[in-house]
Every structure is written in structure tokens, then in C-alpha cells.
Amino acid sequence: MLVYAMIAHRMTTLVEYLSHGYDDAKSAAMHLQGRATYAKQAEGIFMSERKGPFICECMIGGSYIFIVVGTTSTKEQEIRDCLLDIRSTVSDVLYQVKKPVANMLSTRLTPILQEKVEQYNVTREVATDQGIVKIKNELAEVNDIMRSNIHKVLDRGEKLEELEESTTDLVASSAMFQMKARKLRRQMFWEKWCKYLVMFVVLAVVGLFIYLMIALKERNSS
């Protein structure tokens, strides 16, 4: 979150905007302003500093110093983008003023600083919200995949149970078939030997009858 922005002419603060009541951010910016004032004044030089819960970014443009302060959760690139945006927006106003007057510039430029800081905060919040929405969507997709996998596992379990039941039925049917097969084999065995026994009895009776006839005939002839 961006909490403070200022434009200074060397050590003179021309315009500033403080949001959310972060007074310590102003102190951090003043400290960086002092460092920048004694640095080599050249176009486009960046300076950065971490002070307490804040990260300060400074851009030196000629005799002007642009500073934006954000909380440590803010990326440095976001702060620098805001710096460049502020500089490009107010450059025409600043460089047309030969002798910077703080009161006059503050009236004209404070709304611009406020607009830029709030604009970047809103953009960051939207990006964060979009990131949260994206994460929620990804979690929902993972949740759907897990539910699908669970349903597949349950379906597979049901199919395995059905297969187990079918296997049990098949084993029972196989045992019943074996029992019936043994019974049928015994039945066929006895039927076969019964036929042989009947044939043997018939042959024995016929043989006995022939023997008796021959014996009776011999007895009558004698």
C-alpha cells in the first residue's frame, strides 16, 4: 500500500500527500530527502531505503526530488511506477516555474498526488482481489478434481464389491457343479454296472436252462 508522496526542491518540500495517517512515513521520506539533496543531482537517479515498516523510493530529476513511500508489503517496482507517473504528470508544471513557490504548487499538485497514490492503491487492491479470486478458482478446480477422484474410487470400490460377489457366486456355482458332476458320475457308473449285472443274470439263467434241458434229455434217454 502506498501511504505517502512528496515533491521537493532540494530541501524544500513543495507538495506532499499523506494517506491513512502514517506519520512515520513522512519522517522516513524526510530522511531520504536529506540523502538525495546531498547526492549528485542528475536526471533519472533512483535511491531507495527501508526504514521501519516502510520502503521509500526516491527519484532525482534535476533539482527536483520525487519520493513515494509504501508499506513493506509493496513491491519496489510499484513504487517506482508511481514515481514515474507522478513525474510525467507534473513535469510541465514544475519546469515552467522558474522559482518554485511551495504554497502555489501545493494547491495545484496535491490533488494530483492524492489521485495517483489512491489510483495505484486501488489497482493493487484489484490485482490482489483478482489473485485471491484466481486462487479460489484454482482451489475450486482442485476440489472438483478431488471429488471426482473420490467418486471414481467409490465407484471402483462398488465395482470391486460386485466383482467379489460375482466371484463368490461363481465359486459357489463351481462347487455345486462339481458336486452334481460327482453325483452324475456315480449314477452313470451304477447304471453301467447294472446293465452288466442284468446281462450276466440273463446269461446265467439261459445257461442254467440249457443245462437243465440237456440233463433232462440225457436222463430220459437212459
CATH code assigned at 97: 3.30.450.50
CA 86 to CA 84: how far, in whole Å? 5
> 100 φ, ψ to 5°?
-60, 130
pLDDT (tens digit per residue) in 19-53:
877 778 888 888 888 888 877 655 677 888 888 88
| Domain range for 45 | 2-133
Q: Is residue 166 part of a domain?
A: no
The answer to the question of residue 30 being in a domain is yes
52: left (phi over 0), alpha (psi -120 to 50) or beta: left
Task: Classify residue 129: in a domain, yes or no.
Answer: yes
Total residues found in the chain within this entry = 222
Give tens-digit pLDDT for 159-211.
777 777 878 878 888 888 888 888 888 888 888 888 888 888 889 888 888 88
Strands 2-9 and 64-71: antiparallel
Helix (H) or strand (E) holding 38: none
List all residues 6 or more positions away from 43 whose beta carbon is below 8 Å from its beta carbon. 60, 61, 62
Q: Is 162 among the domain residues?
A: no
Dig out the grid coordinates for 204 from the structure. Answer: 446265467
